[in-house]
Amino acid sequence: MKILLMGHPNVGKSVFFNRLTGAKVFESNYPGTTVDFMKGWMRVEGEDVELIDVPGTFSLEPKDKAEEVSVNMLEENRDCVVVCVLDASKIERGLYLALEIIEKGYTVVVALNMWDVAEDKNIKIGVEKLEQILGVPVVPTTAVSGEGFKELVSRIKEAAPVKIEEIIKNAGGGGSAAVSG
Amino acid sequence: MQEVVEVPLSVDERWDLIDTISKQTVEFGAYKHTLKDAIAELTVKPLTGIPVAIAVIYGFWSFFCDFAGTLFTDGFMVRLFDEHWLPWLQSVFPGGLGNPIYALMVDAGHIEDGVLVASDNCFEAFGVLTSGLFVPFGVVLWAVLAFYLIFAILEDMGYLPRLAVLVDTVLHKIGLHGYAIVPTFLSLGCNVPGVTAVRPLETRKQRFMMITLLSVFVPCGAQIGIMQDLVPELMGWIFLTLVIGYLGFGFILNKIVPGKSPEIIMDVPPYQMPTFKNIMSKLWIRTSKFLLVAVPFVLLGCLIVGLMYLTGAMDWLVAVFGPLLMGWFGVPSETVAPLIAGFLRKDLAVGMIGGLMEQGIMTTFQVFTSVVLLCIYFPCLATFALMIKEENWKELLGSLASLVAMVFIYGGLIHLVGIMLGVA
């Protein structure tokens, strides 16, 4: 099994990577710290799993060279699990990337990172409801202090691909997307 | 029978879906204006942000000079190397003055009134075991440590994106984005990570311009450290010259390089308290990388230059290129030697200028010109190798052509200004 860490720039993917693998990758508080992917190993329920830290990207339509690296990484690893790291204080735009990855048929786990920042900003997120709609594990995390990591790792095995139609149905309409032609 | 085809959602449909999801799951409470926000605003608004930026950079520089220059290098290392290490080696190393192996390893000496005399400091001696060790361990290591310590703190706090917002307007005038400050700052530590950090810039034009400007006008921490030790009184002028060159040639490149320089939108992350662990681990990674890459190159550089002197190759190069250097740039023909060493390591090359200074064959203005020339004339080998990787051959040729043009135009201009001011 392979796990890809994906998400917007500066949501804490490198901190995830360091925490999960014990490796030393640069963590900095500005977007664009990681411009090339990094590989490391972590253990999921006794099994050695390769973890890849992918440069931050806003969407799957690459806009610069670092984003190109990310999209290529995703395409080269069709059978991987994607841990999609979202900034919980800016959840909507993070969801855009998560949905794009889900639509492509990948197995996704959502980490709502920077949970502490969201709390500071008085943003409340119904994690269970979100999980129910998306149909994938959703785990709040605070990477800098390590909160939520145990749960995240323990739930990677639960994840399975979801059809976007399911999500639309669970959300109760909204986008009427599945077009028949 | 109709076949059901799966079509990916359109951008709008996806946003609609996100909207329905977030309405059911996210609740935005009343926003409290926190102290963090207040600090964040103070550092971004021009009226308060510019003074803060100046204070931050001034503080950075003072720490750099006091910690690396005064405390470690002058206070301890110079004494250790000049008063103990060098005399000890001179007394125990077999061969003695004039012997080729001794010259390579310990002290080449220099001619004074027709007599070969021994060196009394590690800038002049130029042996692998003297200058070769003094440059990286006596001077540069401390500069690199001091630089990366402060840099890591600024990085982890989240100050750099705010600096980017502040300088955005200025950098847009030369077709770059405020984000360019991140690779520029990184390059002040080492050009190698600086050039890598250019990737988030959107267009090939911006990346090309940035790589070219970085490799020409931004000196690395090692180089700054040794310049600061050698010519502290000239540092202001050197930086001013480099900044003018960076902005001026950026402006010209922006006009002549085809392509677009679009706006990129960058997030300004919230301020964070840096963690001690992360700072230390970064400091360790960066410093050990420096030691692994720099030290072998410095030693190799010493050896190559020493051999060139011994075999007479250097005299030949001095004779060939001397007139050009003297005539166009106004620096003595002996500057050929540091320029050769500069291909390998800029810090070593600046150290060699220190040697020439000690021998008294350079005026202050010539020292200034040659130090600036060393900064701009060619990226060091490690940076050049990375440029080959990051640019296609067309861009690489473009970078090299601009580099040669910039060196000759700017170097000549500096000479001209010197002549007009009557100091050259």
- Other Cβ atoms within 10 Å of A27 Cβ, number: 25
- Other Cβ atoms within 10 Å of A51 Cβ, number: 23
Tens of pLDDT, residues A99-135: 999 999 999 999 999 998 888 888 999 999 999 999 9
Whole-number average pLDDT of chain A: 86
Beta strands (DSSP E) in B244-388 are none
Tens of pLDDT, residues B348-395: 899 889 888 888 888 889 999 999 999 998 888 888 888 888 888 999
ipTM: 0.84
Q: Cβ of B9 and A164 within 8 Å?
A: yes
Mean pLDDT of the B316-332 span: 90
Strand partners, A124: B27
**Euclidean distance between CA atoms B381 and B192, whole angstroms:** 10
| pLDDT value at residue B7 | 65
Residue B19 has its nearest CB partner, among A32, A121, A174, at A174
- Other Cβ atoms within 10 Å of A181 Cβ, number: 7
Residue with tokens 């973890």: A51
Q: What is the DSSP letter of B257?
A: S
| Mutate which: A14, A28, A99, vs B, most B CBs within 10 A | A28
Q: Cβ of B14 and A129 within 8 Å?
A: no
| Mutate which: A18, A27, A29, A130, vs B, most B CBs within 10 A | A29
Q: How far does the CA of residue A36 sit from the closest CA of chain B (Å)?
A: 9
**Euclidean distance between CA atoms A151 and A57, whole angstroms:** 25
What the block records as the tokens of B25 is: 């799951």
- Report the percentage of chain B scoring pLDDT > 90: 21
Residue B130 carries which side chain, given as an amino acid letter?
A: T
Q: How far does the CA of residue A2 sit from the closest CA of chain B (Å)?
A: 25
**Euclidean distance between CA atoms A29 and A56, whole angstroms:** 13
Superfamily of domain A2-171 in the CATH hierarchy: P-loop containing nucleotide triphosphate hydrolases (3.40.50.300)
Q: Cβ of B29 and A124 within 8 Å?
A: yes
B109: helix, strand or coil: coil
Count residue pairs from A and B with Cβ separation < 8 A: 150
B318 by Cβ neighbours in 10 Å (0-12 / 13-18 / 19+) ranks as buried
Q: How far does the CA of residue B66 sit from the closest CA of chain A (Å)?
A: 26
**Which stretches of A28-88 are DSSP H helices?**
65-76
Residue numbers in A near B210 (CB within 8 A): none
pLDDT band per the 50, 70, 90 thresholds, residue B419: very high
Could you state, in order of their start, the residue ranges of all structural domains in chain B?
42-260+282-421
Whole-number average pLDDT of chain B: 87
State how far the alpha carbon of B248 is from the alpha carbons of A98, B181, B203, B245, in Å.
Answer: 43, 16, 21, 5
Cα torsion for B142, B144, B148, B150, to the nearest 10°?
50
Q: Cβ of A99 and B9 within 8 Å?
A: yes
**Which of B385, B365, B299, B304 is closest to B339 using CA atoms?**
B304
Look at the alpha carbons of A87, A92, A95, A97 in this order and tell me if their dihedral is positive or negative. negative
Asked if residue A180 has pLDDT above 70, the reply is no
A165 by Cβ neighbours in 10 Å (0-12 / 13-18 / 19+) ranks as exposed
Q: How far does the CA of residue A62 sit from the closest CA of chain B (Å)?
A: 10
Q: Which are the contacts of B311, defined by CB distance < 8 A and separation ≥ 6?
A: none
What the block records as the tokens of B412 is: 């000549």
Q: Cβ of B13 and A64 within 8 Å?
A: no
Task: Please say whether the beta carbons of A35 and A83 come within 8 A.
Answer: no
| pLDDT value at residue A12 | 86
What the block records as the tokens of B275 is: 């963690």
